Amino acid sequence: MKTKFLLFILISIGSIGMNIASAQNLNISFLLDLSDRIDPKKNPSTAMQYYQRDVQYIKSVEKAFINHVKQKKIIQLKDQMQVFFDPAPQNPMIDKLSNQLKVAFDRFSSKKSIMDIDNIFSTIPIKIYQSAIKDNQYIGSDIWKFFQKKVKNYCIQDNHRNILVIITDGYMYHENSKVTTGNRSSYITPAFIKAKKLTSADYKAIIKKSNLGFIPATTGLQNLEVLVLGINPSKGNPFEEEVINEYWSDWFRKMNVKKFNILSADLPADLDPVIQKIISGK
């Protein structure tokens, strides 16, 4: 009995140690929506253009990542960031630029290489967005298909705290992934919300009664946290944002995402402390 009890204690301590180690390693992935939502002519904003907000959101996440890395000893480093698009941009310049945002630190990294990341994330993201806007060939973002086909392989690593940052306006649609099962779908648009009569205070009751929502793209995402930034509902429906949040929240829960946050396209200065807190895990 004593031997078994001692073994149980050792296993428990080992498990706690592994969890602590996992929490110390960050694996942050960005999924960027370069659809026409970032077009300053089609979707202008007098306060701050939406593509400029995106760039600052990315910078806030990077700042939190660097603060995390700086708190660790070099020998403990096993942290990384990467950027994804789905589908891949047709402009090779965007692909070339995004490769510079793939960052990995380990015990062989130097302090200089860590400091260099600040410069990279201060210049490269804006070039990506400006290139996409200048190209004017918005191919959309297939977020649903990314979760179905790629999220497990691309965004989840063992012994890491895995965080996927999705920057989008909250509408999900791509012509190659338009799927329906009963009243559930792989997409949501302003026209869709209006057609389903989700424009009044009883939208939750309608969603529940009709079993509306996204089709789960996958399951088993317990080891993934998701941060959605940039929710920007269209005008005319005072409940539009609440409906979008309901759809996304239900989707994440059905895919077993353990923790998620869905934030509006507020000014970066206002969102920065919120993002810092989420990434730091405090």
- Here the tokens at position 102 are 């793939």
pTM over 0.95: no
Structural domains of the chain, count: 1
Provide the pLDDT for residue 208.
97
Taking the CA atoms of 162, 168, 170 and 172 in sequence, report the sign of the dihedral they define.
negative
CATH code of the domain containing 244: 3.40.50
Q: Report d(CA 13, CA 5) in Å as an integer.
A: 12
DSSP one-letter string for 101-163:
T-EEE-TT--HHHHHHHHHHHHHHHHHHHHHHHHHT------HHHHHHHTHHHHH--TTSEEE
Q: Report d(CA 106, CA 116) in Å as an integer.
A: 15
C-alpha 97 chain-centroid distance: 19
Block means of pLDDT (10 residues each) for the chain, length 282 residues?
44 41 80 96 96 98 96 93 93 92 92 88 96 90 97 97 98 94 97 97 97 98 98 95 98 97 98 97 84
Tally of CB atoms within 10 A around 188: 23
Segments forming the whole domain that contains residue 76:
2-280
Picking from 223, 216, 229, the residue whose alpha carbon sits closest to that of residue 258 is 223
